[in-house]
Amino acid sequence: MLGVFVSDTGIRSRSFFSTETVPWSSVADIRNGAGGNEGFNPGRDAIHIHLTDGTEIVTPVRRGNRLPPRLFRIEVGRVVMWPKPYDDALILLRRQLAEARRAAAA
């Protein structure tokens, strides 16, 4: 199961070869960024989880502009989504982060 998963306690990025789970308190921001690996950028954006220690997790969720007419598809260890569902997923993840911050402050 590739993708990004959330719970009340944290966020998990599951890629083809690794899974990283961090508590919400360690997440500084969730943003759009380059989807490349090791200096290679195929021109797709990816969802990035920026951590409070300055590191980031590049999730396997990618924005695809030229895809067959489906909501999403798995592509070589990545989840490639149409731009609208990708943008919606990014908005929902950012909202979840904001809710986690509000809950921690209460």
Q: Which domains does the chain have, with CATH numbers?
A: 3-105 (2.30.29)
**pTM score, whole prediction:** 0.83
What are the pLDDT digits (tens) for 58-99? 999 988 775 455 545 445 667 888 889 999 999 999 999 999
Under 8 Å between Cβ of 23 and 10: yes
d(CA 52, CA 61): 21
From CA 10, how far away is CA 60, in angstroms rounded? 17
pLDDT, tens only, 38-55: 555 556 789 999 999 999
